Amino acid sequence: MNRPKKTEFKFPTHVDEYPTGPQYAAGYLPETNAGWRTVRPVVDYDACVFCLRCYLLCPDGTIMKENGKIEFDMDYCKGCGVCAHECPKDAIKMVKE
């Protein structure tokens, strides 16, 4: 049986090394947030280096690239905190609604 060759996991160091991009553009979800989100992401633009890790990993495609900055579509953000957890510069804080 031909099995895929095992490779050692290496943490991506550049956006080109990520295997996939966002699955959907913002606005794909059929319903907007109905008020159940308890925390929201807030970005510190002084700390952000625009590496786009958050953009690639947001499960809802809620993060957009706008004029060299990231922006959040709060109609669709569910407040999961993945973006804040994965930001290598700790540039995203989750704050209470």
Closer by beta carbon to ligand SF4, 8 or else 37: 37
* Inter-CA distances, 84 with 3, 4, 9, 90, Å: 36, 33, 22, 7
- Assess contact for 85 and 78: CB atoms under 8 A: no
Least distance from C-beta 97 to ligand SF4, angstroms? 12
3-state DSSP assignment of residue 82: helix
CA atoms within 13 A on the CB side of 80: 14
Contact status, residue 61 vs residue 28, Cβ threshold 8 Å: yes
Q: Which of 3, 26, 54, 96 binds ligand SF4 (CB under 6 A)?
A: 54
Q: Identify the residue among 29, 64, 71, 81 touching ligand SF4 (CB under 6 A).
A: 81
Of residues 10-49, those binding ligand SF4 (CB under 6 A):
41, 43, 48-49
Contact residues: ligand SF4, CB under 6 A:
41, 43, 48-54, 58, 60, 62-63, 70, 72, 77-83, 87, 89, 91-92
